[in-house]
Structure 1
Amino acid sequence: MSSYCASRFATQRRLSREVQVGSVGVGGDNPIRIQSMTTTLTQDVDATVKQSIALAESGCEIVRVTAPNKKAAQALKDIRANFTAAGFGHIPLVADIHFLPNAAMEAIEHVEKVRVNPGNYADNKKFAVLEYTDAEYEAELQRLYDSFSPLVKRAKELGRALRIGTNHGSLSDRIMNRYGDTPLGMVESALEFLRIAQSHGYYDMILSMKASNPKVMIEAYRLLVRHMDKEGMNYPLHLGVTEAGDGEDGRIKSAIGIGSLLMDGLGDTIRVSLTEDPVYEIPVAQALAQKIMEQWRPSRSDLGRESPKPDSVDPFHFQRRQISKIQLGKFAKLGSEEPPTVITPVPHPISEYVTIAAEAKTSRPALGDSKLEGILVKADSIDDLEKLTELCEAINGAAEFVVVELNPKLPLDEVSLALPPQQHHLAALRDFGDDDYNDYKQFVHLCAQFKIRPIIGLSPTADDGILSEPTDDTIITLHSSIAPSAPNHRIGYYRQLADRLKHWKNKSPLWIRNPKPARSKTAVSSPFLDKLLHASILTGSLLCDGIGDMVSIESDDDLVRSTRLAYNVLQGAGSRITKTEFVACPSCGRTLFDLQTTTQRIRGKTGHLKGVKIAIMGCIVNGPGEMADADFGYVGGAPAKINLYVGKTCVKYNIPQAEADDRLIDLIKEHGKWVDPKPVTT
């Protein structure tokens, strides 16, 4: 058994206690529940009810409403009454509480669940540099006990649920100074509140560990489960990547963080946080939930066989797999210190090399810094191979290198007769079965003879003889065809393959291939969203485990779309930065400006700044913390006033919003990170 999940190879759901949120059960045997949050001013009861109805009609099963103060919490009474009168009494409402216990005590009277942020609730968050003695630390815990206990007791009396929702961006001074800005600090922040609640015999709680960085978020949830297991706790988990942003990037980040955990069997309710109208969050969350629930396997005891041996990855600390250095093209290279390389499949046969080269060359302006590195072509016949010379000459620098995928049915002796004389930057890929060791040896020898880079596609149960060979110049990938009915999922097979390579001290780079996903007849997502989620979950999960040196998205026939999606997934996983990184929170009733239009406007002005990270926050609740690894921050400080940050430090206060964009650009220039955008060519 893994230290945080039943299996890292197949999706076996973690068994949690069931918590009733109004009429909706969370955890236990219930399906994954879909949540979202209103963005209206809470005191505007009519607007909040209207948006709650729109969410419910879109499929949202639990609706959250911010209650930043007691007056907003009092408005929840009418919101609940009007929402029920409109026919939605079965949809639970959740009050979102950050700082004020009196607001929480008011809210618990009106709604089915209250979310408490343990880093803010009756706690200090001034980022002061302090050292706590053990006695001072215990005194702080006693103060928390006194502040939180009344809410726990009232929730127990009324049969309400609580969510202890830790945010990476809002850890208290006490936690920061004892544990640092770490996943462990996030976990301990939640455990403090759990222990207080349990001391009162209260157990109707749900936990969350949100961060804008998927790696941090994934590690925090894994660590939370391990610590809960140690203390005999089995509370349900609410999953989400906070401040994920908007558009394709926001969906990718959310799918990486949420999807990775769901594939490991963790998670009972989810929210996809987008800087968009919250109604647009629902179809993404529904598609994620459906995709994972279709993967669920029965518990291990029902399978009648032993669990596979856990892999050797440390799931609580990111470390990239160590690999050999390999030069692929003039600039493209693989290595433990190099970002993963992108391979783009082309839909045309090799005989159409003129078309392939033309598309590769015309893709350059559309891709920008997401350049075309490797292209993947298929050789299904000897005639195809005989056109390789023309293809390589036609490409002429439009791509760094060419990978030719050999049909396994082609006899290798015939392949040897058809291969062209030495071509620079050419690699050959061939799949091998369990009993193909001799063919493998012949293939490697053939590649050496023609000075072609060998790429080996292996089945999950590949011969140890292949894995144990010294392969400093070989790249490994998973066999392209794995049946959907296979006992493990594709993520698990890559994990097992990486572990077997480690066992044999084989440092061959690993290529993550994203094949076209099998589309369910009951699919609720669009074809493109399905491809995006599939690529984000598979590739993102592995990258966040430190596995993966080449990436290809092979589900789209459009060269630009598939290349861009691969780069965006790499950026979402924090593995390769090719454009500006935006950390943008979803709007809510605390927001002091229009987040959607502001984010789009700032993106339009700064989206060309490769490697710069900009945080756009509607208020200060999580802003300074989530900006810990951002270069610059744009934060609502007061109505129509913006505060500008460098990292966690506020350097400009109360700037009129009309001036804030230009002042942000001035700040970027002052710190030497501004470049003028390239002129648009037509």
Structure 2
Amino acid sequence: MNLFKYTRLKTRSVKVGNIEIGGESTICIQSMTNTNTMNTPGTILQSLRIIGQGGELVRITAQGIREAENLENIKKGIRDAGFFTPLAADIHFNPKAAFTAAAIVEKVRINPGNFVDKRADFTRLEFTEEEYQAEIKKIEVQLIPLLTICKENKTTLRIGVNHGSLSDRIMSRYGDTPGGMVESAMEFLRISVREKFMNIVVSLKSSNTRVMVQANRLMIARMHDEGMYFPLHLGVTEAGEGEDGRIKSAVGIGTLLADGIGDTIRVSLTEPPENEIPVAKKLASYFTERMNHGLINEIKPVPVQFFEYKKRNTNAVSNIGGSNFPIVISGGTVHGELVPEYSFIADAQNVDEGINYIVEAKEWQNKGFENTKIFPLFHSVADFRSSTKKSTALNFVLTSNSELTEKLIRDIQSEKNLVLVLETHNKNGFADQRAAFFKLMNADCYLPVIIKRNYTENNIEDFQLKAASDMGGLFIDGLGDGIWIENLSADRQDKGAIKNQDIVNTSFGILQASRVRMSKTEYISCPGCGRTLFDLQKATAEIRERTSRLKNLKIGIMGCIVNGPGEMADADYGYVGAGPGKITLYKNREVIKKNIPEENAVEELIQLIKDCGDWKYQKRE
């Protein structure tokens, strides 16, 4: 993995039907149906809609042998329609269903957390080493027959770990951690390699973007140590819908794609599955476009721990840096529910006394704004250092990786009222800005840094995906004390087509998706699949409408029990499908009420939140 030059990580090429994943192949775009697998016509039609949008692989749940057998009819219907897109079966808890599916479809996904081990109930287990190895033998008993069937039918296997469904055995030894996810996959990979079965894709997913990113990075390192180079499938589970789902997916998937990691992607949205395909295609193409970017000099040593979170140490300047959460700066005033800490304005004639402003340094100097809530922006460190008139409280200074030489950093690192605003003009801006942070950290420079990016987008979805992909990874790695996004016209002379409030909302969304600042209710919402036996999209929309103003709450909305309790590990409340039209409610990981009729369940959730004293509306920051 090259941190300073965009290149795709080299992986094995794996054939899946008429496509290849990994190697020199382009990033494969896929989705998953959410119909009942026994609804053959409905599943065929939904698969065709996914394919029609450009989906290159369609995954279908097969919770039992009956559903696995019906994949034959679904496959025939798709082939009869003239499409030869490979199909994947999604298997949990049922090795026999995997055996059946492996003889029918081109790919089978199994979950190491529940392929042999029972569903986790979060009990700590103690094993001697001999007992633990006996548990590994149990995996071999079920996995080796599946590998044999896959060999006979040229079927690919995805070893797909979900953070939310790690087994009690794994969590007891390795923790509910990225390391636990990696070891869960490695147990299955070691057996497969020993059996000389190499037609494998690996995935490590979580609704927690930080965990998802760290787990995939650690997986690459662990595979490399053991001579394995299997292709990686990327995704953020339970990302949600709308703006939040897109931003959260882009933060997780985009952070890895930015370093050339990932051979196939699925964007999990609580929307019709065909909606996922255009989003995934945009993400994939955004990174392949940055080939042959401008030179970024290598920085040694690399001062960031990529497998665990550690915030960069900075000194506090006013409310920026130190122990403060990352701030938001907007390119203009806004008056919505999400309000930035600072607004950059061209003209400081009519200002609101309750708002902090940033103006051009010359404007600030000429109009005498010292001892006000208006602060200067200098266009370079050189401008700042040569100026005879500066704020005694807070100065914002634009800079870039190319400007930050060792000497310049030494010259400014003792400043007490300086906040750097880090821009980039490199096509690979993510790596360019990260390299600037490496310089500051290696020089023991503790000045706070605002991460600033400029776009020229006309489409809000494109803007959100690019901004989240470019900036989320820096915050995931503990870099950045604030965020400032501008969207300009194509000639960069005027404001662009995206509204200021939408830009601010995106900024807050990126910070929340990166898990560094919570500003609104968080929804851990799965996309649903054939296991979902209630109207998930309707329930999600209703819960969001009723609870979106509650203060600092996380609510999990899950189609079934597969990832439910685990993926909702840090959720305050859970709404989980329990059977046809039935819902189970959780408080944290504890079941509060079972088998509530679907039509009453949202109201029961609202009442539960009220009974627990968490029905607190917030005036947003």
Task: Return the alpha-carbon distance in structure 1 between the equivalents of residues 60 and 396 of structure 2.
Answer: 56
Task: Return the alpha-carbon distance in structure 2 between the equivalents of residues 587 and 266 of structure 1.
Answer: 26
Q: Structure 2 counterpart of 1:429, which letter?
A: L
User: Which of 104, 110, 118 lines up with 1:116 in the alignment?
Assistant: 110
Task: Return the alpha-carbon distance in structure 2 between the equivalents of residues 416 and 70 of structure 1.
Answer: 72
Q: Structure 1 counterpart of 2:454, which letter?
A: P
Pairing 1:396–2:353 present: yes
Pairing 1:640–2:588 present: no
Matched-pair contact (CA < 8 Å) for 2:401–2:433: no
User: Which of 439, 444, 451 lines up with 1:512 in the alignment?
Assistant: 451
Q: Structure 1 counterpart of 2:331, which letter?
A: P
Task: Return the alpha-carbon distance in structure 1 between the equivalents of residues 567 and 164 of structure 2.
Answer: 4
Pairing 1:476–2:431 present: no
1:451 Cα offset (Å): 5.5
Matched-pair contact (CA < 8 Å) for 2:317–2:394: no
Q: Which residue of 1 aligns with 2:565?
A: 624
Q: Which residue of 2 aligns with 1:323?
A: 314
Q: Which residue of 2 aligns with 1:374?
A: 342
Matched-pair contact (CA < 8 Å) for 2:423–2:451: no
Task: Return the alpha-carbon distance in structure 2 between the equivalents of residues 219 and 69 of structure 1.
Answer: 33
Task: Return the alpha-carbon distance in structure 2 between the equivalents of residues 451 and 289 of structure 1.
Answer: 43
Pairing 1:537–2:472 present: no
Matched-pair contact (CA < 8 Å) for 2:526–2:557: yes
Task: Return the alpha-carbon distance in structure 2 between the equivalents of residues 15 and 454 of structure 1.
Answer: 41
Matched-pair contact (CA < 8 Å) for 1:512–1:550: yes
1:586 Cα offset (Å): 0.4
Q: Classify the secondary structure of the residue corresponding to 2:557.
A: strand
Range that drifts further, 193-202 or 494-503? 494-503
Matched-pair contact (CA < 8 Å) for 1:344–1:559: yes
1:677 Cα offset (Å): 7.6
User: Which of 525, 528, 538 lines up with 2:460 in the alignment?
Assistant: 528
1:416 Cα offset (Å): 8.5
Pairing 1:311–2:254 present: no
1:419 Cα offset (Å): 4.1
Task: Return the alpha-carbon distance in structure 1 between the equivalents of residues 331 and 421 of structure 2.
Answer: 15
User: Which of 551, 557, 580 lines up with 2:521 in the alignment?
Assistant: 580
Task: Return the alpha-carbon distance in structure 2 between the equivalents of residues 610 and 314 of structure 1.
Answer: 32
Pairing 1:651–2:595 present: no
Unmatched segments (≥5 aa) in structure 2: 488-495
Matched-pair contact (CA < 8 Å) for 2:568–2:574: yes
1:9 Cα offset (Å): 2.7
Task: Return the alpha-carbon distance in structure 1 between the equivalents of residues 393 and 206 of structure 2.
Answer: 46
Q: Which residue of 1 aligns with 2:409?
A: 467
Per the normalisation by structure 1, the TM-score is 0.86
Task: Return the alpha-carbon distance in structure 2 between the equivalents of residues 377 and 230 of structure 1.
Answer: 52
Per the normalisation by structure 2, the TM-score is 0.94
1:423 Cα offset (Å): 4.3
- Percent identity reads 41
Q: Structure 2 counterpart of 1:375, which letter?
A: S
Matched ranges for 1:201-280 at <5 A: 201-280=196-275
Deviations 1:551-589 (A, max 9, x none): 112015522111111111111111211111000000110
Distance 1:297 1:267, change over 3 A: farther
Q: Which residue of 1 aligns with 2:20?
A: 25
Q: Which residue of 1 aligns with 2:438?
A: 499
1:116 Cα offset (Å): 0.5
1:533 Cα offset (Å): 1.1
Q: Classify the secondary structure of the residue corresponding to 1:151.
A: helix
Q: Which residue of 1 aligns with 2:486?
A: 554
Task: Return the alpha-carbon distance in structure 1 between the equivalents of residues 482 and 297 of structure 2.
Answer: 33
Matched-pair contact (CA < 8 Å) for 1:579–1:610: yes
Q: Which residue of 2 aligns with 1:353?
A: none
User: Which of 316, 320, 329 lines up with 1:343 in the alignment?
Assistant: 329
Task: Return the alpha-carbon distance in structure 2 between the equivalents of residues 133 and 668 of structure 1.
Answer: 42
Q: Classify the secondary structure of the residue corresponding to 2:455.
A: coil
Distance 1:446 1:227, change over 3 A: same
Q: Following superposition, which runs of at least 4 residues in structure 1 exceed 4 angstroms of deviation?
A: 305-308
Q: Classify the secondary structure of the residue corresponding to 1:181.
A: coil
Range that drifts further, 95-104 or 118-127? 118-127
Matched-pair contact (CA < 8 Å) for 2:376–2:396: yes
Matched-pair contact (CA < 8 Å) for 1:458–1:476: no
1:512 Cα offset (Å): 0.8
Task: Return the alpha-carbon distance in structure 2 between the equivalents of residues 493 and 310 of structure 1.
Answer: 16
Range that drifts further, 160-169 or 459-468? 459-468
Q: Structure 2 counterpart of 1:96, which letter?
A: D
Distance 1:417 1:192, change over 3 A: closer
1:43 Cα offset (Å): 0.9
Task: Return the alpha-carbon distance in structure 1 between the equivalents of residues 154 and 506 of structure 2.
Answer: 46
Q: Structure 2 counterpart of 1:23, which letter?
A: N
Unmatched segments (≥5 aa) in structure 1: 328-332, 347-359, 379-386, 407-411, 520-525
User: Which of 52, 62, 65 lines up with 1:67 in the alignment?
Assistant: 62
Deviations 1:610-666 (A, max 9, x none): 210000001000001001110110001111111111122212111122221122122
User: Which of 183, 191, 210 lines up with 2:186 in the alignment?
Assistant: 191
RMSD, aligned α-carbons: 2.1
1:58 Cα offset (Å): 0.6
Question: Matched residue pairs, number?
Answer: 608
Q: Which residue of 2 aligns with 1:141?
A: 136
Task: Return the alpha-carbon distance in structure 2 between the equivalents of residues 641 and 288 of structure 1.
Answer: 36
